[in-house]
Structure 1
């Protein structure tokens, strides 16, 4: 009996985020005072009304299988949300609910990609995009969003990257790890390019509710009939309602794609967790006060810690417009503290200063580190103080 693994998994890169988080957790459990800034989840608990709705559903016996693509009542709640927030009209057959937005994306790539199909991925990017494309037999094609362009790519870059094998481009706005937001005008140009080249737009909008300083979230699907037809909109309640562990995400888009995804899910997951679906119905249909409370808290933290982080020698920081991450370019600090690269710098920061950050190499941005401000302001300020002291103690000029 052969014991070799399937070739598809041999192409995978381990998650940098999870590796750093695991190391920080191990240090904490051994009694070390580690401050973790790697978290990709809000530090708020799920709102009480959502928890109560889940509990009520269980007491009422709503604990059995649901349709593979999700409860009709939850699809209706999502349809109403998309109409209210974006003015978009979808039917139930155009909605599929999965086990978090990550699972939805994975399933999407499985049903739209054939071997060697290409997906254009702007960098910096969320770590799982290229890995999921590879698992579906596809080829990630990276185009760079430079710091000068606020980490965003242009329509012309997309046009230049398209080949006969291109199937889709991913747009993540607000973005992880950058926190940057594409304007309506930028999205219109991208939509026009995708129409000309006849490719899908995969629009990851999971951070849509977390926008700051008067910034506006626009879905590319809002821009025209053609943009809506070719947009596969991905969203969920993990970030907006602090429901990361409940694992509910969804896609809104082309009915044929959604049907194929639902068929695939029926053979892989059966259905999203029933209790979590009832909780999500309440998340969308119930009061939204907690969403705004959390958004304001993140905005306040950003306003406080951005100047402090910018004051660290060798740190060049662009102020984000959304999400809850900062992505400073630390190449100057790395050079002047004698480390070979950002990964080594981040490792030393963890073991010496007891601060966990994520090296940008995992996001296709090797000169940066990602810090999450989804933690208390007291811990954030202490972490930045430690980072500042670490850099100054190791500065060699």
Structure 2
């Protein structure tokens, strides 16, 4: 049977692939350390679990409005007002089956065949694939490592054409952990306003910042940018709720209405019980302060350990829970023709699973998640160093 053309061009998720390979090796009895996971290694807090149980016992297990239950929309609006000084009404918010589905739905309602979305490199693996699924064309612009993997206004403007519909900004970033400053966002925003380019602001890691820097949403900076931006967020990272699949988008009413209409014909609605769990996350508590403290400690540990490995350099991230070191020199000195080959051999020989940067559009780097135990991070760094020294000998 011939499959649709739109799925034949898709690349599988490199992060999910490496995680699956690590699990397979573990099931075979190997002592595998997986640093590929894009989710907190903390369980969902008990008060959220209790709220889900209560919702089930109260019979809140039926269909909900396609765009989310009103109570959750109200809580999301309150979160925006308190955390970001942004004011959204219920018809400017749509609750989705995870932030990933918010992005997917947005591109579906936004793009016509051949229209372009600027995607800075390195990028989260699903951005370009979702653009392609919507019939659009991802336009990759390299955010240079010497600029902390951040796009400049000049680079953005040079990539804009008559077909440009949107640009994706992810801060803090997956995979690099970098953040844009207020001034940097303002400069990018002015370019978008000049050329009438929609800003897709992925802020899923906004609560995971370890440097004392304040998260800034580009929509905060002016009324014009507020009207030109769709914010993507959710509870997955901030509240250790990845499996609950609750995300949301906020932005112009016409876009949100179209997303809600599309959802009514795809998912019907986000899972009812998960919505009430997310409601408790926002109403009864905040982000996981202990989790954030532990992640900050792990960042310091793993960053120092990586710098002790020959041929490895790394920009210190400010947020998320990833490090994105450049290992090109190490891979070359070890005799590998590519970082992908280096990563494959590392998993085969030392049973350490990391994600090759090629999956993020950056061939010289690897992504390591520190959402795992301190002991595992120390052992993984030791194995990587031993691997490099062995192959360079």
How big is the shift at 1:158? 0.9
Q: SS state of the match for residue 121, structure 1?
A: strand
How big is the shift at 1:287? 1.8
The separation in 2 between residues aligned to 1:238 and 1:12, in whole angstroms, is 25
How big is the shift at 1:242? 0.4
Q: State whether structure 2 residue 113 is matched by structure 1 residue 115.
A: yes
Q: State whether structure 2 residue 85 is matched by structure 1 residue 87.
A: yes
Q: State whether structure 2 residue 327 is matched by structure 1 residue 330.
A: yes
The separation in 2 between residues aligned to 1:321 and 1:216, in whole angstroms, is 10
Q: Which residue of 1 aligns with 2:259?
A: 261
The separation in 2 between residues aligned to 1:385 and 1:63, in whole angstroms, is 48
How big is the shift at 1:234? 0.2
| Worse-matched range after superposition: 12-21 or 243-252 | 12-21
CA displacement, residues 287-342 of structure 1 (integer Å, 9 cap, x when unaligned): 22x51111111001111121111110000111000000000000000100001101
CA displacement, residues 192-250 of structure 1 (integer Å, 9 cap, x when unaligned): 11000111000000000000121211000000000000100000000000000000000
Q: SS state of the match for residue 148, structure 1?
A: helix
How big is the shift at 1:16? 1.1
1:74 to 72, 75, 78: 72
Q: Which residue of 2 aligns with 1:301?
A: 298
Q: Which residue of 2 aligns with 1:148?
A: 146
Q: Which residue of 2 aligns with 1:32?
A: 30
State TM-score, norm by structure 2. Answer: 0.99
Q: SS state of the match for residue 268, structure 1?
A: coil
How big is the shift at 1:14? 1.3
State TM-score, norm by structure 1. Answer: 0.98
CA displacement, residues 106-151 of structure 1 (integer Å, 9 cap, x when unaligned): 0000000000000000000000000000000000001111110000
1:128 to 126, 129, 150: 126
Work out the number of aligned pairs and report it: 393
- Counterpart mapping for 1:1-397 below 5 A: 3-288=1-286, 291-396=288-393
Q: SS state of the match for residue 288, structure 2?
A: helix
Which consecutive unaligned segments of at least 5 residues does structure 2 have?
none
Runs ≥4 residues deviating over 2 A = none
The separation in 1 between residues aligned to 2:332 and 2:252, in whole angstroms, is 49
Calculate the aligned-residue CA RMSD, in Å: 0.6
The separation in 1 between residues aligned to 2:357 and 2:128, in whole angstroms, is 15
The separation in 2 between residues aligned to 1:89 and 1:213, in whole angstroms, is 27
Which consecutive unaligned segments of at least 5 residues does structure 1 have?
none
